[in-house]
């Protein structure tokens, strides 16, 4: 029999004082593991630039190329820094004539900050406005215009002003039947040399790295993952934290065999159709998004004393880690209401208004991603469009934690009745656009929300964002 008076050294770590130390150590290690798994803000997708190293003895020996390179370096020594991808591309092109002679890699400026403006909108006055809204979206067909492939680029260049004017007026312009935009290089040629738009970084990069179709052309994937084909992308303005691109160009390089329509929604029409009492309430209270959540269900089975030890440590370390990785205010909140009763640590952004004025036209617009971000509406769509199974169990990386929700600005829940009302008005006004190869949808990101239908097969749509 065991001697009850004997001390067992190998069990000394079970003493209460040591259990607290052990629990704290486990919590720190766990929280640090979470922090390490987060995408890092500031290390954005590298701008596509070319190395300055020479390409071999034969290249270095070419006198003409060396002379050209020397002149570039002379400018550098005089204080003209070669920091842009174009400069480095020019340098490498000079030193390596076998390099493809295409356009230099695109420079992506930082995504602009959101222009919230003053909170001075009279909701009653907005809903009384009976002025007819412009056609939405406006469509321009190369085939209807009788344009040949050789004439398409000239048409866009010559009509740049009217196309951009119509984009601001209508909120969305669809370019159909253009051969020019069937490839990433041609798509870039359209917006860069035709419309003279200035591209910017993907706003999503502060929380996740979006895949690219062509890094050198600044063309990003637009939710084509086979694992998310049954996931209905709800209607939203592209906005992450404090950053919002002014415009976007979505292009179809390959349509899905079935479904996969691109959706657009007129934000001005939404303001007219939402119930006045709901619109006034949410405008007065503001709203805030939960931008990510970390499953912590394993804590629920632990003794209360251990939960009380672990929770503050995990929360503190996670707050610190996220603060280092994103450029906007966040707050982590323990929650059991959005994940079937399981405990999660939810990351919420700062409150913001659901209605704002368009930066150029001053028109009030609906700027609330309730339809896309609400956990309840997401679950409802899953039942409607994918039989309750969106395939998220097959996703990896940031898709596992970037589960969103939406609340009033004070953190209280938006009622299920109001959420259903938003969904009803949204789907009543959403336009489903079946795009073919080369079709482009230009979107005013403040005026128009976008989304995507479920699909079968292979879909290759892409997007470039603009300042």
Spatial distance between the Cα atoms of 435 and 9, rounded to a whole number of angstroms: 72
Instruction: Indicate yes or no: pTM above 0.75.
Output: yes
Q: pLDDT higher for 410 or 59?
A: 410
Percent of the chain with pLDDT over 70: 73
Whether residue 204 is contained in a domain is answered as yes
Whether residue 424 is contained in a domain is answered as no
Last residue of a domain, one of 373, 395, 417: 395
Q: How confident is the model at residue 62 (pLDDT cuts 50, 70, 90)?
A: very low
Q: How confident is the model at residue 361 (pLDDT cuts 50, 70, 90)?
A: very high
What is the rounded radius of gyration, in angstroms, for the C-alpha atoms of the chain?
26
pLDDT for 91: 41
Q: How confident is the model at residue 237 (pLDDT cuts 50, 70, 90)?
A: very high
pLDDT for 53: 31
Tokens of residue 137, six digits: 């979206």
6-36 pLDDT, tens digit each: 544 444 444 555 555 555 555 555 555 555 5
Q: How confident is the model at residue 293 (pLDDT cuts 50, 70, 90)?
A: confident
Whether residue 136 is contained in a domain is answered as yes
One domain for residues 386 and 458: no
One domain for residues 380 and 444: no
What's the structural domain count of the chain? 2
pLDDT value at 58 more than 50:
no
Spatial distance between the Cα atoms of 203 and 114, rounded to a whole number of angstroms: 11
pLDDT for 226: 87
Whether residue 311 is contained in a domain is answered as yes
Average pLDDT over residues 367-385: 94
pLDDT value at 161 more than 80:
yes
Whether residue 412 is contained in a domain is answered as no
**Token pair 């659901």 is at which residue?**
354
pLDDT for 183: 96
**Token pair 């809204």 is at which residue?**
133
DSSP for 190-235, please give it.
IIIIIS---EE--GGGGT----EEEGGGTEEE-S--GGGTT--EEE
Q: How confident is the model at residue 441 (pLDDT cuts 50, 70, 90)?
A: very high
Last residue of a domain, one of 346, 375, 395: 395
Whether residue 169 is contained in a domain is answered as yes
One domain for residues 203 and 171: yes
Last residue of a domain, one of 395, 421, 454: 395
Question: How many C-beta atoms lie closer than 10 Å to residue 5's C-beta?
Answer: 5
One domain for residues 239 and 325: no
Q: Which of 239, 196, 192 is nearest to 219 (CA)?
A: 192
One domain for residues 225 and 152: yes
Whether residue 115 is contained in a domain is answered as no
308-340 pLDDT, tens digit each: 999 999 999 988 888 877 778 888 999 887 666
Spatial distance between the Cα atoms of 292 and 294, rounded to a whole number of angstroms: 7
Average pLDDT over residues 42-49: 36
Spatial distance between the Cα atoms of 161 and 139, rounded to a whole number of angstroms: 16
One domain for residues 134 and 250: yes
Q: Which of 247, 278, 226 is nearest to 458 (CA)?
A: 226
Whether residue 326 is contained in a domain is answered as yes
One domain for residues 260 and 277: no
One domain for residues 286 and 218: no
Here the CATH number for the domain that contains residue 233 is 3.60.130.10
Residue 283's domain comprises 273-395
End-to-end CA distance of the chain: 78
Pair 264, 441: CB distance under 8 Å: yes
Q: Which of 388, 376, 385 is nearest to 453 (CA)?
A: 385
240-276 pLDDT, tens digit each: 888 999 999 999 999 999 999 999 999 999 999 999 9
pLDDT value at 462 more than 60:
yes
213 three-class SS:
strand
3-state secondary structure 6-57: CCCHHHHHHCHHHHHHHHHHHHHHHHHHHHHHCCCCCCCCCCCCCCCCCCCH
Strand partners, 405: 290
DSSP state of 258: E
One domain for residues 376 and 305: yes
Q: How confident is the model at residue 220 (pLDDT cuts 50, 70, 90)?
A: confident
pLDDT for 14: 47
Question: How many C-beta atoms lie closer than 10 Å to residue 33's C-beta?
Answer: 10
Spatial distance between the Cα atoms of 130 and 32, rounded to a whole number of angstroms: 55
Give the distance from CA 27 to its chain's centroid: 31
One domain for residues 280 and 238: no
Spatial distance between the Cα atoms of 148 and 181, rounded to a whole number of angstroms: 13
Average pLDDT over residues 218-229: 86
């Amino acid at each position: 029999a065991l001697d009850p008076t004997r001390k067992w050294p190998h069990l000394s770590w079970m003493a209460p004082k040591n259990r607290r130390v052990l629990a704290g150590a486990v919590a720190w290690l766990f929280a640090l593991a979470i922090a390490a798994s987060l995408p890092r803000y500031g290390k954005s997708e590298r701008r596509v630039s070319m190395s300055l190293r020479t390409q071999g003895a034969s290249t270095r020996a070419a006198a003409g190329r060396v002379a050209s390179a020397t002149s570039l370096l002379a400018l550098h020594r005089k204080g003209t820094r070669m920091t842009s991808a174009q400069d480095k591309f020019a340098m490498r092109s000079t030193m390596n004539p076998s390099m493809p002679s295409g356009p230099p890699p695109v420079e992506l400026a930082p995504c602009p900050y959101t222009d919230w403006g003053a909170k001075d909108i009279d909701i009653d006055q907005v809903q009384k406005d009976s002025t007819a809204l412009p056609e939405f979206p406006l469509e321009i067909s190369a085939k209807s215009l009788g344009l040949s492939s050789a004439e398409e680029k000239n048409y866009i260049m010559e009509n740049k002003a009217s196309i951009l004017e119509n984009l601001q007026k209508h909120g969305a312009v669809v370019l159909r039947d253009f051969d020019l935009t069937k490839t990433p290089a041609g798509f870039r040629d359209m917006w860069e040399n035709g419309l003279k738009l200035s591209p910017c970084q993907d706003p999503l990069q502060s929380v996740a790295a979006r895949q690219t179709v062509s890094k050198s052309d600044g063309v990003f994937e637009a939710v084509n993952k086979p694992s998310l084909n049954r996931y209905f992308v709800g209607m939203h303005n592209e906005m992450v934290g404090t950053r919002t691109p002014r415009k976007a160009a979505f292009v179809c390089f390959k349509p899905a065999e079935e479904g996969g329509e691109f959706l657009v929604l007129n934000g001005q029409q939404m303001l007219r159709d939402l119930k006045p009492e709901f619109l006034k309430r949410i405008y007065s209270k503001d709203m805030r998004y939960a931008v990510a959540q970390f499953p912590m269900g394993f804590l629920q089975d632990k003794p209360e004393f251990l939960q009380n030890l672990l929770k503050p440590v995990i929360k503190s370390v996670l707050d610190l880690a996220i603060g280092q990785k994103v450029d906007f205010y966040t707050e982590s909140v323990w929650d059991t209401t959005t994940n079937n009763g399981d405990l999660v640590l939810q990351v919420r952004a700062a409150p913001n208004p659901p209605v704002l004025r368009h930066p150029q036209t001053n028109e009030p617009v609906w700027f609330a991603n309730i339809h896309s971000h609400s956990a309840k509406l997401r679950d409802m769509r899953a039942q409607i469009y994918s039989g309750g199974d969106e395939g998220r169990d097959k996703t990896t990386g940031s898709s596992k934690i970037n589960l969103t929700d939406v609340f009033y600005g004070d953190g209280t829940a938006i009622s299920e009745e109001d959420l259903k009302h938003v969904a009803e008005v949204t789907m009543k006004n959403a336009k489903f656009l079946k795009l073919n190869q080369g079709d482009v949808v230009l979107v005013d990101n403040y005026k128009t929300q976008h989304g995507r239908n479920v699909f079968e097969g292979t879909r290759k749509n892409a997007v470039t964002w603009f300042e």
